[in-house]
Structure 1
């Protein structure tokens, strides 16, 4: 009887089918079992399927601490001294990155293992009528595995570019080394396979499940979401019209990137995003909103709680979620030290500057009303509508008197994303009537102990954090992690449409849906007034506002780094000094100074993760990622 090594990971998604989703991916056990003994048992089959799901990334702590997508971009910054705790991507961001650098997610090795498990289930699963595993359930299991294969290949493609690709191969246990020594497949060929596979699988999977315990299981909407984001990347300048990759070829002379521009890729990307939007809305998905006392959108609670409220409680914006994530660690590391948190995970000055003012204009616009220096003389309230934001302290309060003017008169999403010095902080350990306090980021004050657990550039991240957290008593409310949401789909469609069909009014239509929910003025190609901001109806002008909106709306969600990569802007934006307030400042005059807290290096090679040198040495047919061998 043939034996096979099984990693039976009962981790994240809640099958056993009759059990909770959150139990599905929580436990990892290594067991050597007979392959023939697995698929004759419904429980073991379900556990096998659970293992197939186990490499879906954690979009809270995973994107930050593990994968590092947010650290590698220009939205978020951890305390640099956390390098001693094995934050492996901090050196990467500073330019200390080589073909031998360790990266714990290890997609190159780990994702093919899960793909192989998916192939084994597809080949061996069968109905077990005596155990209530019927043909319909088997069909869905196969569809789920096909989705996961395509999804994992999209992650590999996004990380490494062209990869060795044999999607239906099941390497035997008694393999010869030469069986594994295959070279890479061209980028566009892999994109085409994933595209085709996801279009086929979406016909098998349902758009949703009536059983809430199946939340997080693969759906047709998830197929469309993965496909749309991948095609947007594939249409973008990094891999569409990049002459620098013209000479990147395999050992047998096959071109790995098509360096010629293909305008049709943008059209395909736009169609995929529109298809996702229409299908998702038909299935009941919509932007998450909460209404205020007068029946209008409350932008503060809407934009805050879309990341905290789960689908079971009415959040239909979520298209693809991981039910069980390490949100506790994210909440702990973004919580200020004076309230028991690790207090060193912040946002950059460039993100602070990216948010619009309350009238919807960028701070660079002379009509924005932005004032950088000096201090407010009175409390600031949101005057564009009723909101329960900061209701305990004072409803609608956004800034206290004596707040640095840089932080005053900004749009709602700013106050939901950035914790700054002097901001009102809901302190779960404060027994006073206000249940909160002002943040104190001056050196030596309550939230800056001049050590590694302090905001190294004067800011902490607020977005996606739970206001009810209390690190002192170790209270952190669990929540799911969002990998894809409808708001992103709107912005993806607007971008792809503007590139493929400039002047199409739907680009502004979907962009404005995001701004309307955020409580800021929408754009119009007509005249500026109290409700609208004029924008010229040409491709470059629309491209500019779409990119500004993506930076703000999607910040800290693991998307910004890929945006900079695919736009081929990373080598410009991520090179040079990064700024914040002065960590060492002990008073206002010293602290409120734009200060470079680190200098970053981004080389052309960094657009793709390198293939480990050990893998290159084992497989003579592999080609190192572009520019890594220069």
Structure 2
């Protein structure tokens, strides 16, 4: 018997699907009944693929599509790339409003995935003679359960609140009252998502043995997404923020709880503790490579963690999107070596990395002036002059960017880039650094080989390297597969440290997990007393530890799309993302650090002015949606003129 045709339009969407894994790469039909879909393995799996297709691409998509990577203070693309769909660019300069298009498309796309997941959960059945067994049906239902919650968590992370009908499948002939619903309070949505993710994790396996299932939802993936969501919900932006005390729905119901709730931190702590426990029990661990002497090769470890797959031994991955995106590597490769050459990293990222001795080089800026860094005299950092010797390190597996084994920076390097920690050398491509695929130093001087003085050049004197596959050869157009890592164990450890410091200041576990990150990074660890090879810290000083944890998080997770949410949830975006951004001198032609020489390249130079207002913490709802639905309310502060 045919099912009502009101659902068929969903199946027609299958033509826009992507393939989560090889088995999901199916064709759609044009005239289908629900019976035909759920008794046919290929069609049912195509529907499942459509549900999965809403998971944002954590590498290229966070830059070019959702913009989360660009809207923080890590990545900096050429502004003229806006004409090729980089619609995050006008947002960082404050040039957007309630009618501005956004390629992320959460408002229009996520509800479709949620609804399709709901239909799939309600109708999927075992298919005799196929791999769709009763066990597989249970897994598919749990996967859809998680994905519904995950998409709602993305929705509220973007808009703050949204219409919320998790178990309701709106018919195409539904009444206006059924379809035009208003927003639901933030905490109510988070509580539902929390429960759904946790319950799905109890059904799904921690991993799959079949390679064809790579990218399918696991119990660990559920717990990772849940933990990240609860950390955001516990943070100052949405936990006791008085700015939203008067933000209500059309009937006057408050949409954010403006009273601080310490229990939110406790709940986030328990979620992270469970995540770490279950992840480690399933064999997840920080990815490490070793030197011949048995020591950790920090240079190789922090490069390959972003390139190796789970099947290749990278057990640090907790949540991955399997699709490869070679455009990312192309955009961070120099123009003269076959790349697009305009995706750089900001000076503030360069400043953030530690020195090889584990100390921060820069403690702040005089009166907020980024051209006047406050240098930490104990760090050994200087940004004047050029090195006279090679910067030699202990690494047996890493020589991709130096051109000579064990050399992190050759003699003649601007001293700003010398004696920095290993992670720095896997994140930043500076002027005159050796580029192994072209067997030469990069040339970012004005009209140099890698600076044609257009949009396809490093606008602030740097290109990024973070997440680039070490074997992607831009010169010969050989781009290697790299997993799209959404969440890795290092983030869980750092988040756990942050939450412990809020819930249980002085807890020794803070140093335990913080030091796991620093050990892999190849820099001295922290201790509560003066010890050889360690850095003494005051564990009981909550403010000091909060700063140390945030610094470590900035460095370890830079360029991974996490920073923007961190600045938002800490309520620091208004300060950090508003104002002048700096780099080296894009117009420089001289190898000089003389600030009185306008042609000196190695001088802190303002290249962009960014704008961040209080309203930007949440995306605006498109005005035409507000016009169509009288029950909606515009995101906070977007109705005010500034």
What is the TM-score with the length of structure 2 in the denominator? 0.93
Displacement, 1:455? 0.1
**Offset, 1:28:** 7.8
Paired residue for 2:384?
A: 373
| CA gap 1:28/1:232 in 2 versus in 1, 3 angstroms | farther
Query: Take 1:259 and 1:592, find their aligned partners in 2: how far apart are those partners?
Result: 47
Partner of 2:631: 621
Alpha-carbon contact 1:389-1:397 (below 8 Å) kept:
no
1:104 aligns with 2:99: no
| Alignment partner, residue 530 of structure 1 | 533
Once the two structures are superposed, what CA deviation does each residue of 1:540-568 show, in whole Å capped at 9, x if it has no partner? 11100000000000000010000000000
Structure 1 contact 61–325 (Cα < 8 Å) conserved: no
**Are the structure 2 counterparts of residues 487 and 28 from structure 1 closer, same or farther at C-alpha, using a change threshold of 3 Å?**
farther
The aligned counterpart of 1:416 is 426
SS at 1:584's partner residue?
coil
Q: Are 1:334 and 2:332 counterparts?
A: yes
Of stretches 528-537 and 168-177 in structure 1, the one that deviates more from structure 2 is 528-537
* Superposed counterparts of 1:552-563, under 5 Å: 552-563=555-566
**2:597 paired with 1:598:** no
**Bigger CA drift: 41-50 or 300-309?**
41-50
Structure 1 residues 132 and 238: alpha-carbon distance in aligned structure 2, compared to 1, 3 A threshold: closer
Is 1:494 aligned to 2:522, yes or no?
A: no
TM-superposition CA deviations, 1:332-371 (whole Å, max 9, x none): 0000011010000000000000000110000132100001
Contact 1:12-1:322 within 8 A present in 2 as well = no
Matches within 5 A, 1:248-259: 248-259=247-258
Contact 1:12 1:323 in 2 (8 A): no
**1:66 and 2:69 aligned:** no
- Counterparts of 1:277-356 in structure 2, within 5 Å, are 277-326=276-325, 328-356=326-354
Of 13, 32, 39, which residue of structure 1 is paired with 2:20?
13
Quickly say closer, same or farther: Cα 1:30–1:535, change in 2 above 3 A: farther
Partners in 1 of 2:29 and 2:159 — Cα distance?
A: 28
CA distance in 2, matches of 1:625, 1:525: 45
The answer to whether the aligner puts 1:80 opposite 2:79 as a matched pair is yes
3-state SS in 2 of match to 1:577: strand
Q: Deviations over 1:394-424 (max 9, x none)?
A: 2211111111010111000011100001212
Secondary structure in 1 aligned to 2:463? strand
Partner secondary structure for residue 318 of structure 2: strand
Please report how far the alpha carbon of residue 162 of structure 1 lies from its aligned counterpart in structure 2 after TM superposition.
0.8
Displacement of 1:15? 6.2
Give the match for residue 115 of structure 1: 114
- The worse-fitting range, judged by mean Cα deviation, of 372-381 and 279-288 is 372-381
- CA root-mean-square deviation: 1.4
Give matches, 1:386-401, under 5 Å: 386-390=395-399, 393-401=403-411
User: What is the rounded CA distance, in whole Å, between the counterparts of 1:332 and 1:533 in structure 2?
Assistant: 42
Further displaced range: 473-482 or 444-453 = 473-482
Q: Does 1:51 align with 2:62?
A: no
CA distance in 1, matches of 2:471, 2:133: 44
CA distance in 2, matches of 1:449, 1:568: 39
Instruction: Say yes or no: does 1:404 pair with 2:407.
Output: no
Greater displacement, 387-396 / 371-380: 387-396
- Within a 5 Å distance, the mapping from 1:240-255 to structure 2 comes to 240-255=239-254
Q: Structure 1 residues 310, 35: CA separation in 2 closer, same or farther (over 3 Å shift)?
A: same
Distance 1:88 1:517 in 2: 36
- 2:507 and 2:234 map into 1 onto residues whose CA distance is 18
Decide whether the 8 Å contact of 1:238 with 1:565 is kept in 2: yes
Conservation of the 8 A alpha-carbon contact between 2:149 and 2:193? yes
Normalised TM-score (structure 1): 0.95
Aligned-pair distance for 1:597?
Answer: 0.3
Per the alignment, in what secondary structure is the counterpart of residue 122 of structure 1? helix
C-alpha distance in 2 between matches for 1:529 and 1:578? 38
- Specify the SS of the correspondent of 1:233: helix
Name which of 484, 506, 529 aligns with 1:481. 484
Of the structure 1 ranges 562-571 and 119-128, higher mean CA displacement relative to structure 2 is found in: 119-128
2:595 aligned partner? none
Aligned to 2:34: 35
For residues 79-478 of structure 1, the aligned pairs below 5 Å read 79-326=78-325, 328-364=326-362, 365-382=376-393, 385-390=394-399, 393-427=403-437, 430=438, 436-478=439-481
Q: Number of residue pairs matched?
A: 612
Secondary structure of 2:580 counterpart: strand
In structure 1, C-alpha distance between the alignment counterparts of 2:29 and 2:131, rounded to whole Å: 27
How far did 1:223 drift?
A: 0.8
State the secondary structure of the residue aligned to 1:312.
Answer: coil
Once the two structures are TM-superposed, the CA of residue 40 in structure 1 deviates from its matched residue by 1.4
1:81 & 1:524 partners in 2: Cα distance?
A: 47
How far apart are the structure 2 equivalents of 1:10 and 1:239?
A: 34
- Measured against aligned partners, the alpha-carbon deviations of 1:86-139 in whole angstroms (never above 9, x if no partner) come to 211100000011000000121011000000000011111111224442211111
- Contact 1:320/1:485 (8 A) holds in 2: yes
Query: Residues of 1 paired with 2:609 and 2:122: CA distance?
Result: 51
Q: Distance in 2 between matches of 1:446 and 1:602?
A: 35
Q: CA deviation at 1:470?
A: 2.7
2:124 and 2:537 map into 1 onto residues whose CA distance is 58
Stretch of structure 1 that moved more, 442-451 or 562-571: 442-451
Per the TM alignment, residue 569 of structure 1 is displaced from its structure 2 partner at its CA by 0.2
Structure 1 unaligned runs (5+)? 17-23, 431-435
Spell out, residue by residue over 1:258-315, the C-alpha distance to the aligned partner (whole angstroms, 9 max, x if none).
0111111111111111110010000000000001111111001111000000111100
The alpha carbon displacement at 1:84 in A equals 2.0
Cα distance between partner residues in 1 of 2:601 and 2:27: 47
- The secondary structure found in structure 1 opposite 2:32 is strand
Contact 2:386 2:412 in 1 (8 A): yes
Q: Distance in 1 between matches of 2:270 and 2:316?
A: 20
